[in-house]
Structure 1
Amino acid sequence: MSWRNIVFASRLAAAAIAALAIAYWLELQEPQWAILTVYLLTQSSTGAALAKGSFRFLGTIAASAYALTAVKLFSQDPLLLVGSAMVWVFACYYGAARASNFTAYGFMLAGFTGLLVTFQGAANPGGAWLVAVDRVSEISIGIACATLAGALVLPDHAGTQLRGLMASTFRALADHCALSLRAATGGQALIDERRTILPQLVKFDALRSYTRFEAPEMRADAAAMDEVTREFLAVLAAARGLHLRLAALQEGGTALPEPLTAALEPTILALGRIGADPAMPGDPARVRADLTGVRRQLAGLARSIQGMSDGLPLGARADAILVCRQATGMLRDLSLLLLAQQAVFRHSRQRSTPRHAAAASSHPTALLQGTRAALALMIFCAFWHATQWDQGIAGITGLALMNYQCVNTDDPARLGWPYLRAVVAACFCAYFTIAFIYPWLEGFQTLAAFLFLVLLPAGLLIGTPGYARSAGTFTIFYVAAAATGNVFTPDPLTFANFCFGLVFGMFVCLMVARLVPATARGPRRRAVRHTLCVLLPQAANGERAPSQVAREITHLLGALLPQLSLARAGHDRLLRGLLACASSARELGRLRQVATDPSLPEPARRAIEGGLQRLAALFAAWPSSAPSEAAPSGTVPPDAARDALAGMWLALEADDCRPGSRAAGLVVEAATCLRFLEDRLMRDHAFRDFASLDGRLL
């Protein structure tokens, strides 16, 4: 009930009533489409509303052009008419699955509008042109009213929202890093906090795309936004690996050296200050200075521990240096993230080319999406023809609307059933309104007053995140059903038949979607296979720079992130496994660099090179790994990995290097890398098991 939400709801209601009044004044056939469009364009920012309105208009124009052509050519041949509609629906929903954000919305709107205008026009070919013109006019009126209201009354720009979201997410990430430095933090607490941060990251790309419809100073650079996503995931990967090492030391009863414990506390305090400072975005230089100060302290401590020869065995030194190095890397990545965020709104003459949309489905999945939509249309048209049902167009409307809900989702029922329930509730309320309230209203003024009283609380619910989806669906269908034409001619039986047809069409589409699953599991499987079988062996063999390999893994994860539901066990394990792979690639590359240093003793060099070759072969052979009790099919065999690590470790312990020499430092460096890899291969269940995720979990 905040004043901003009240203004938001009032603005929506006023724009909707104004759109309805203009449609009445122009005597359009279905004025409810004008008020419906206002609520369909409900967005949190001006840029988003402009983006959605623009693609809705383009989709409507394209659909009307197709429909008029189809009616002209095929109105006398039902088979050709339905066949052309199936081809159109397939093309639109294939495009929707391959696109993202409001580009996908434009494709879906074209598919939806094309069906309605085609079948309405085919029922009366002489009036098809009028149906198309009215539909374009009604939607254009709704777009204009919604956009004008959003631009004049408390405008909120997507660029402003993106800046605020990046700042708040950076502070949350700083808190997450501080939490990871506390060994006593439970693993579940870290997972829960990561699950609250990652959904904000998914919003970055959408908000960035909306800024293209705003003033130049509000527009965000696509390549810089991609860099923000990669650095964000790099920080999460470093924080996760660091906490796993600290937790393992605590569980094993191993105490960190006192200087390291003392150095970690200022780091935790510095990160806590950043997370608690709302003014942080206004002074990024100070934030970077704070991070640089604690990072230098940890780096100096790591060098001093590396030079120790007495008092600390090799394993203890490796543990301490690993903690220092991971904390230093996490702070460095956090500083780079801050720099990347500052570059998002810096515009150069040479514009960067944005990457492919992260939320887009793969080609096979998009083919299935388009085929499923066309198949649902064919089944319903066959039923319509067999029964000669007089509400077939209502069913086509419901089918097209449910198709809209089933695109780009692995589980249509999760969105489809709540959507169907909201539509049923809206139909009942609209029937009550038409039967018992409208007969008492006289003139547009009383109708407008009644609609405002209804739409104001609906707008308040739409402006409340927990109720936005269900309230928006209910309001859209309520105004579509209850907003009548210029002349009030109530016909309860016809209205009930229309509602039944609408719901039945939705039900048919939902059943087809359940029977023909079109999921994004393929890209996820390919990401796992490519990471394990190609990228990690490349890092281990020194074929590519470890930073490049880690960057590619985070890029893969960034592309998959919008498709992941972290509440599902398989998706969460996939996320954690890819984060672990990104950090492991750096350690594999660092170990390879140590092996190529001529100062390293020859026995240690041979052991490390042989061990890395064995690990690379294990990763590359993952799909054909023989199943056993210790290593189920599809996992990296733990015994073989343990033997490879143990052989390298024994060779390092056997080398008697002069304290303080270059060789002694390289031995400690290699031992530190092995400690990290041991954590991943022996203790990190997500890293060991995510490769074996079956199709249902993925």
Structure 2
Amino acid sequence: MKSATIRGIGLPLPSLTVDPQKLLFSLSSFIAAAITLAIAFSASLPRPWWALLTVYVTAQPMAGAFRPKVLYRLGGIAVGAGVTILLVPNLQNSPELLVLCLASWTGLCIYLAVLDRTPRAFLFQMAAFSSAVISFPYLDDPANIFDTTIARVQEMTVAILCVTAVHALLQPWSATPVIRARAQSFLGHARRWAAEAIGSRHTRLENEHRRMLAADITELGMIAVHLPFDQRWAPATKRRVTALQQQLARILPLASAAANRLDLLRAQGALSPELASLLDDVSDWLTDPESGVHQSAPLIRRCEKMAAEGEAGAGWSGLLTASACVRMAEFLTALATSRRLAGRIGSPGRPRLEARVAQPFALARDHGVAALAGLATASAIGLYCAVWILLAWPNGSATAAFAALITCSFAAQDDPAPVIGRYLWATLKTFPVAALYLFVILPRVDGFEMLIITLAPALLWMGYIQADPARSPQALPMFSCFIVAMGFLARFQGDFALFINTGLAQLGGIVATLAVTKMFRSANVLHTARRILRANWAELAQLADIRRPFLPERWTAQAVDRLGQVAARMAVAPEGDALHAADGLADLRIGRNIIPIRRALPHVPHDARHRLGAVLSGLSAFYSSRWRRGRADPPPAEMLRSIDQALHALLALPLDEPRRRALRALIGMRCNLFPAADAPAVEGRG
């Protein structure tokens, strides 16, 4: 909508623009909330406000995301309720031990949730949250804990089933268009980056785009989990998206490898006119939005022909040309295949390209990071409970419950402190609205229908905010403050003292969470990035160790995932930090070069196998040293000699396909590890 102007002054008036999808999501959540309250009131559930709050805590803008999560959430509620019934009656005479057990249980659940990194993590989060909100408010009266647990389970279950049913019926969003958009976004980024990479300007773009490229690959897998639960007529399948992920994961190392060789050729003045013409044509295909997938086939054939001529040509420049062309051909093949797969998402037909996919895209997991998140959560809850018990604060139990809600909601973030600070500010902003409703509006309301009509403006407004990705973190504190302050019992209770005490309990939980988070987690972002880098080096050392199991596809998936995680955190690293010296993309290329060398070992004579083994042994020792020291140290000079000796050994042999791939891998490894080294004395194969 166009903005208007004030007559005679010319000042623009702000225009009111309403997003239909966000409004539909908010309306769906409100209908679910109304149904939930109706059931809670008619069934005389003791705390209807828990049911109402659960509606908005579990609401998700993507409809397909509800169906897997509803199973995990209901399972988490059942597990949390079981732990409550197991612990509270048996430890009611030892409150210190009971608090320790509950805090430890919550920390364990958060550890598992952070480690999992799939929608299954909602089971662990819900188990932690439900046990906390059931147990803490009723530790002073454990005799009725069984009835209390059953009531809380009923309230939360009714809310989850209502919100799932309403959103599934109205379908605000589906997972399929989101996956298609992510895939197209990645392909657009990859094509722009590759076009400038082969034009020698990739150094600037590498830091700018690789985070988005790697993050899009991982996010595709997160969304793909929901596909089996999306509309039954959705043509996209999890297998098809897994195949797409595996193709996309190849694009990053292949395109950057081609750019690396082209840089070396330009530095040596060895870029032939034929290769320059090929690069222009490839760049035109990449940058032309109207270019078709079929147009890549002639370019791939030209790359392969030039690669064969380069390997049969003279010296090191010929081998570099061959390496650049081979990687470019592989990159174009992977990009064309990805475009075909992405184009088939959302269209009917049986999957064909993904028929060979056997394993899902593996995510990297860090037990240390997960353990730190769990320890921080357990320590925070223990601290809240200690303060509550020592001060004998009547509403301190509510503080512990709110603190558990906040810590469980943000435990997966490296540094939740800024988000929790905004949580506090959003809570403070909502208190006047809650007070207006509780003491001015609701006393004049009579009947359930009028209650729903009266609540509609506030809940629809907050639901609209929840549907906006930029403002959604504000929604949970607003709902928590508003709904908990209302109370929503069977009869209206406008108790000002209770309102203030409950509000202070909420603020106390947020402030205590913020304090403990700053103590435990605020310096964790760079620490996490370094841990991820070291984990990648450790995996590279294992990949190069011929005594270790060989799972190349799994390693590639985890390496791409780590690349995105590190790149996302490097933005906060200060200038000169050691993180900037670590080239995750070069490590990814080196790992991809280790794979064909290991595969070639059974296909070469003893002497060549010994040379290749020396290269792998040196790589394993080099990355093990990096892992132990925690620094991106340069490779030793002995490794350059080992690579050159292995190159000469392979060049002296007839090249079948495994040996040819190993030769190309050695060339790539030398270019990545020793880009400034003098050219080796190699002879053409004529």
TM-score (norm 2): 0.80
Deviations 1:77-105 (A, max 9, x none): 42443344234324433432343333222
Q: Secondary structure of 2:493's match?
A: coil
The whole-number CA distance in structure 2 between the counterparts of 1:465 and 1:330 is: 34
Deviations 1:70-127 (A, max 9, x none): 3433334424433442343244334323433332222222222212222334333454
Match in the other structure for 1:259: 274
Of 323-332 and 489-498, deviating more is: 489-498
The answer on whether the counterparts of 1:399 and 1:508 sit within 8 Å (CA) in structure 2 is: yes
- 1:535 aligned residue (526, 535, 543): 543
**Amino acid of the structure 2 residue aligned with 1:533:** A
Q: Secondary structure of 2:489's match?
A: coil
Q: Secondary structure of 2:106's match?
A: helix
The answer on whether the counterparts of 1:553 and 1:578 sit within 8 Å (CA) in structure 2 is: no
Which consecutive unaligned segments of at least 5 residues does structure 1 have? 278-285, 599-604, 686-698
Q: Are residue 682 (structure 1) and residue 669 (structure 2) matched?
A: no
Deviations 1:320-379 (A, max 9, x none): 32221110121233345457766999689x9998669736542x5544444443333333
Of 135-144 and 508-517, deviating more is: 508-517
Match in the other structure for 2:154: 137
The answer on whether the counterparts of 2:242 and 2:357 sit within 8 Å (CA) in structure 1 is: no
The whole-number CA distance in structure 1 between the counterparts of 2:215 and 2:363 is: 14
The whole-number CA distance in structure 1 between the counterparts of 2:274 and 2:369 is: 54
Q: 1:322 to 1:590 in 2, by over 3 A?
A: farther
Q: Are residue 578 (structure 1) and residue 583 (structure 2) matched?
A: no
Deviations 1:380-430 (A, max 9, x none): 222222211111111111221132134333323244333333334334542
The answer on whether the counterparts of 2:361 and 2:554 sit within 8 Å (CA) in structure 1 is: no
Q: Are residue 113 (structure 1) and residue 130 (structure 2) matched?
A: yes
- Correspondences of 1:176-575 after superposition (within 5 Å): 176-183=193-200, 185-214=201-230, 218=234, 225-250=241-266, 252=267, 254=269, 256-273=271-288, 287=293, 289-308=294-313, 314-337=315-338, 358=363, 360-362=365-367, 364-482=368-486, 484-516=488-520, 524=532, 527-536=535-544, 538=546, 551-558=553-560, 560=562, 563-564=565-566, 566-568=568-570, 570=579, 573=582, 575=584
The answer on whether the counterparts of 2:242 and 2:361 sit within 8 Å (CA) in structure 1 is: no
The answer on whether the counterparts of 2:63 and 2:173 sit within 8 Å (CA) in structure 1 is: yes
The whole-number CA distance in structure 1 between the counterparts of 2:665 and 2:658 is: 11
Which consecutive unaligned segments of at least 5 residues does structure 2 have? 1-17, 574-578, 678-686
The whole-number CA distance in structure 1 between the counterparts of 2:309 and 2:646 is: 24
Match in the other structure for 2:89: 72
The answer on whether the counterparts of 1:68 and 1:129 sit within 8 Å (CA) in structure 2 is: yes
- Correspondences of 1:78-93 after superposition (within 5 Å): 78-93=95-110
- Correspondences of 1:33-44 after superposition (within 5 Å): 33-44=50-61
**Amino acid of the structure 1 residue aligned with 2:296:** L
Match in the other structure for 2:36: 19
- 2:633 aligned residue (632, 635, 638): 635
The answer on whether the counterparts of 2:431 and 2:481 sit within 8 Å (CA) in structure 1 is: yes
The whole-number CA distance in structure 2 between the counterparts of 1:512 and 1:620 is: 40
Cα drift, residue 238 of structure 1: 0.8
The answer on whether the counterparts of 2:28 and 2:166 sit within 8 Å (CA) in structure 1 is: yes
The answer on whether the counterparts of 1:625 and 1:636 sit within 8 Å (CA) in structure 2 is: no
Of 168-177 and 212-221, deviating more is: 212-221
**Amino acid of the structure 2 residue aligned with 1:176:** W
Q: 1:303 to 1:637 in 2, by over 3 A?
A: closer
The answer on whether the counterparts of 1:238 and 1:583 sit within 8 Å (CA) in structure 2 is: no
The whole-number CA distance in structure 2 between the counterparts of 1:171 and 1:562 is: 17
The whole-number CA distance in structure 1 between the counterparts of 2:19 and 2:345 is: 34
The whole-number CA distance in structure 2 between the counterparts of 1:376 and 1:242 is: 50
Q: Secondary structure of 1:635's match?
A: coil
Superposed CA RMSD in Å reads: 4.4
Deviations 1:469-527 (A, max 9, x none): 22344334433334532322222332222222223233334444444458766963553
The whole-number CA distance in structure 1 between the counterparts of 2:134 and 2:100 is: 15
Q: Secondary structure of 1:74's match?
A: coil
The whole-number CA distance in structure 2 between the counterparts of 1:633 and 1:80 is: 43
The whole-number CA distance in structure 2 between the counterparts of 1:253 and 1:416 is: 54
Q: 1:470 to 1:369 in 2, by over 3 A?
A: same
Deviations 1:143-199 (A, max 9, x none): 23322221222453324533453344344434433333322x342224323323333
**Amino acid of the structure 2 residue aligned with 1:534:** Q
The whole-number CA distance in structure 2 between the counterparts of 1:495 and 1:390 is: 13
The whole-number CA distance in structure 2 between the counterparts of 1:533 and 1:65 is: 44
The whole-number CA distance in structure 1 between the counterparts of 2:42 and 2:630 is: 71
Q: 1:618 to 1:323 in 2, by over 3 A?
A: closer
Cα drift, residue 269 of structure 1: 3.0
**Amino acid of the structure 2 residue aligned with 1:635:** D
The answer on whether the counterparts of 2:192 and 2:287 sit within 8 Å (CA) in structure 1 is: yes
Of 219-228 and 442-451, deviating more is: 219-228
The answer on whether the counterparts of 1:306 and 1:668 sit within 8 Å (CA) in structure 2 is: no
The whole-number CA distance in structure 1 between the counterparts of 2:256 and 2:217 is: 17
The whole-number CA distance in structure 2 between the counterparts of 1:122 and 1:626 is: 47
The answer on whether the counterparts of 1:626 and 1:633 sit within 8 Å (CA) in structure 2 is: yes
Q: Secondary structure of 2:225's match?
A: helix
Q: 1:110 to 1:471 in 2, by over 3 A?
A: same
**Amino acid of the structure 2 residue aligned with 1:299:** E
Q: 1:473 to 1:557 in 2, by over 3 A?
A: farther
**Amino acid of the structure 1 residue aligned with 2:258:** L
**Amino acid of the structure 2 residue aligned with 1:500:** L
Q: Secondary structure of 2:269's match?
A: coil
Deviations 1:19-65 (A, max 9, x none): 23332333332222232222222223222112222322222233223
Of 31-40 and 121-130, deviating more is: 121-130
The whole-number CA distance in structure 2 between the counterparts of 1:490 and 1:236 is: 61
Q: 1:34 to 1:315 in 2, by over 3 A?
A: same
**Amino acid of the structure 2 residue aligned with 1:527:** A
Of 236-245 and 442-451, deviating more is: 442-451
The whole-number CA distance in structure 2 between the counterparts of 1:256 and 1:355 is: 40
The whole-number CA distance in structure 2 between the counterparts of 1:614 and 1:58 is: 50
The whole-number CA distance in structure 1 between the counterparts of 2:310 and 2:482 is: 70
The whole-number CA distance in structure 1 between the counterparts of 2:303 and 2:356 is: 39
The answer on whether the counterparts of 2:64 and 2:168 sit within 8 Å (CA) in structure 1 is: no
The answer on whether the counterparts of 2:424 and 2:477 sit within 8 Å (CA) in structure 1 is: no
The answer on whether the counterparts of 1:359 and 1:563 sit within 8 Å (CA) in structure 2 is: no
Q: 1:544 to 1:291 in 2, by over 3 A?
A: farther
Q: 1:266 to 1:56 in 2, by over 3 A?
A: same
The whole-number CA distance in structure 1 between the counterparts of 2:535 and 2:359 is: 21
Q: Secondary structure of 1:101's match?
A: coil
Of 75-84 and 338-347, deviating more is: 338-347
TM-score (norm 1): 0.78
